[in-house]
Structure 1
């Protein structure tokens, strides 16, 4: 369910973030609600599975929360990272998509030097890394 939602809004999120340097709650929050429902469904289907999904969300939130506290990452990026990590965990592909998110964060200094503003839109590289890693990790 969250994967379908992300497929529907990824391009819009990337374009809005690139233009306005913000990820609108009206696009990110419905995905988080769907993720919550999917986590509940995963727990009902396979008891104990929701714990690994929540752990992935917590890791993403911790990494980006530290960046947010340091003033380097926006709160929209934190929410998007939680949505991407949770969706990847539901797919059973945690390591590769999280590595893609880490790659996007490593690209941040280059993006800062390329932009005249110190605020950079992390949404497009986060989404690109997520989709790239998800496609690579997709079961054959």
Structure 2
């Protein structure tokens, strides 16, 4: 086995999200917010990493695809913000997760979001059954979005 010194710069965005997953989770559970200082850097970091990856020979179409899918996810999440009460921090996190994951596989963001909403729904049902919450209450969605991201990222990392 030989050592490959080539670093895949497209991993910068996902690595950033892994690094801020715990602080975002704690803040969202405690304060019900996802601060811009932690959510917004994913965009320039991910785009910069993808630009470097393209400059080093990766397909530029992958970057275009991830930008397009992220814009679509942002639009859908923004509609959910306007009409269904999704928080703006969640909207930005969904767009950032989508941007970081779609580079590797355009279906990974769907896996992440599906896992997030199934886990959040299951947790809500458990809380309702234990009478720890009521119908109509809100939950911190950020931790579930990050769980979905980590699950999807794990699928990506499995050869």
> Closer, same or farther in 2 for the Cα pair 1:43/1:112, shift >3 Å?
same
Q: Size of the alignment, in residue pairs?
A: 139
- Distance in structure 1 (CA, Å) of the matches to 2:140 and 2:22: 14
Matched residue SS, 2:60: coil
TM-score by length of 1: 0.84
Q: CA deviation at 1:39?
A: 3.7
1:104 to 2:116 alignment: yes
- Superposed, 1:20-59 pairs within 5 Å as 20-44=31-55, 45=57, 46-59=59-72
Quote the RMSD (CA, aligned, Å). 2.2
Bigger proportion of residues as helix:
1
1:95 to 2:107 alignment: yes
- On the 8 A contact 2:65/2:106 being kept in 1, the answer is no
1:79 to 2:105 alignment: no
- Structure 1 residue runs of 5 or longer lacking an equivalent are none
Q: Greater Rg, structure 1 or structure 2?
A: 2
TM-score by length of 2: 0.75
